[in-house]
Amino acid sequence: MITPEDCIKYLLTLKSNGVYTMQKIEFWLLQYSDFYKETCSLVSSNDIFELDNGQDVRLPSFWNSTDNDKFLDLYKALDIISDFHRAENHMRDTLVEYHTVKNCQSDLKQWIRKNEYLIADKYASFYFDYLDYDEDDNELNLLVYVESVKEFQIYIDKNEFKYTLEFLNLFQDSSSAEQSLEN
């Protein structure tokens, strides 16, 4: 029988030189997707309290994270970064479009308006949440931090998010340029 601890230990074997590839993370997510669903069901059925009116309420856990909680937190965090990675092709296409419009001020403004929802919604805190820096503020890799499993860190090669990082840098630069043109 699989345990959450087994899943976490297996993930640790998938890194190379301290860094994970998205391919290996995707493999791990796929391999344990059924176990994730089962664990979600198990955890959601725990700590249920029935109120006088018959309504069920889940009580918050006030103790240390269980192995199930750690596995669920880790799986969710990796699933989120995986979702960002699945958008790499879209980011590549967005960059191709940028390079065709970058020399025309009106087209560039339109491109910025068209894509600003990505910054406002999905990518608002991407740098803060994932980029890891050295003491000299040089970008290293992406770091997926999971509070309940802080005994190990999950580093992903930043080149796996090449188009996302380029888009965020370009958008920031283009947006700043547009603001200075308007002033």
Q: Tell me what the pLDDT averaged over the chain comes to.
A: 85
Give mean pLDDT, residues 16-41. Answer: 94
- If phi over 0 gives left and psi between -120 and 50 gives alpha, with beta otherwise, what is residue 66? beta
Give mean pLDDT, residues 155-182. Answer: 76
Answering whether pTM is above 0.85, one says no
Check pLDDT > 50 for residue 181: no
Q: Which residues of 8-24 are buried (b: 16+ CB within 10 A; e: fewer)?
A: beebeeebeeebbebeb
Check pLDDT > 90 for residue 128: no
The set of residues, in sequence order, having a beta carbon less than 8 Å from that of 133 and lying 6+ positions away, is: 139, 140
Range from 20-34, 88-102, 118-132, 169-183 carrying the lowest mean pLDDT: 169-183
Range from 126-130, 145-149, 174-178 carrying the lowest mean pLDDT: 174-178
For residue 85, give the nearest of 165, 17, 11 by alpha carbon: 165
pLDDT of residue 137: 58
Distance CA 123, CA 121 (A): 6
Give mean pLDDT, residues 37-61. Answer: 76
HSE-up of residue 18 (Cα within 13 Å, Cβ side)? 6
Exposed, middle or buried: residue 151 (CB in 10 Å: 0-12, 13-18, 19+)? exposed
pLDDT of residue 78: 97
Distance CA 87, CA 20 (A): 18
Phi, psi dihedrals of residue 144, rounded to the nearest 5°: -100, 110
Q: Which two tokens stand for residue 103?
A: 């020399």
Q: pLDDT band at residue 99, thresholds of 50, 70 and 90? A: very high
Place of tokens 């069901």: 41
Check pLDDT > 80 for residue 179: no
Full DSSP string of 43-91? HHHTTEEE-TTS-EEEPPP-SPPPHHHHHHHHHHHHHHHHHHHHTHHHH
